[in-house]
Amino acid sequence: MKYLIIPVTAFSQNCSLIWCEKTKQAAIVDPGGDADRIIQQVANQGVEVKQVLLTHGHLDHVGAAAEIAAHYQVPIVGPQKEDLFWLDALPEQSRMFGLEECAPLSPTQWLEEGDEVRVGDETLSVLHCPGHTPGHIVFINQTQRLAISGDVLFNGGVGRSDFPLGDHQALINAIRTKLLPLGDDMAFIPGHGPPMSTFGQERRSNPFLQDELPIW
């Protein structure tokens, strides 16, 4: 599986274009905004977008999802259904951040733990990793040893849990019990910030994952 990270919006959100090298079929993960930029990058790569994938319902990850899906006439898939209230509240999120109003969004399909998403001949498995939001999911491609972690895990940090229905302990538990056991060599694309790290690097150096530090 090939990928291209496309930073978008004032929040420097890492939108990901992923595709199967054999079939050139692609998916756009977390198109938070700047739809024209994303569409241009797709054209540059010469791939065929088949779906939009969402890790969670925050505006900076879904702001251009409807526009992108309409442009390519493709479904919106994910996140897990407990993020429905975030997608319903997109107009309020827009006003809170002083941005152009984003209409409520209804995905074509919700995703659950254990589901699989096909991108050409590539397979993404789905892990439900709540804490940043209750319906947050992470996509895993075992073949290329790549995860798309959204706002669960960052290079040197973890997602905020001070939003409605956020839960820091649930977030840490999801990282420790679902992500880290996948192996130190698993690379991941975080939702913001420095674009790449590995689970091993975070296990060893991420201050939020060190057992000797208190978990608040």
- pLDDT tens for each residue of 72-87: 999 999 999 999 999 9
The encoded tokens of residue 175 equal 């990282």
Q: Is residue 216 part of a domain?
A: no
Q: Are 120 and 86 in contact (CB under 8 A)?
A: no
Q: For residue 79, is the peptide bond before it cis, meaning its omega torsion is within 30 degrees of 0?
A: yes
pLDDT reported for residue 214: 41
What's the average model confidence in pLDDT over 181-197?
95
The percent of residues above 70 in pLDDT, for the chain, comes to: 97
Q: Are 182 and 139 in contact (CB under 8 A)?
A: no
Range of the domain at 18: 2-209
Task: Give me the CATH number covering residue 81.
Answer: 3.60.15.10
Q: Is residue 214 part of a domain?
A: no
Q: How many folded domains does the chain comprise? A: 1
pLDDT reported for residue 99: 78
Q: Is residue 202 part of a domain?
A: yes
Q: Is residue 86 part of a domain?
A: yes
- pLDDT tens for each residue of 112-128: 999 999 999 999 999 99
Helix, strand or coil for residue 178? helix
38, pLDDT greater than 50: yes
CA 91 to chain centre: 20
Q: Is residue 215 part of a domain?
A: no
- This prediction has a pTM of 0.95
Q: Is residue 191 part of a domain?
A: yes
How many Å apart are CA 151 and CA 131, to the nearest integer? 10
What's the average model confidence in pLDDT over 121-146?
98
User: Exposed, middle or buried: residue 186 (CB in 10 Å: 0-12, 13-18, 19+)?
Assistant: buried
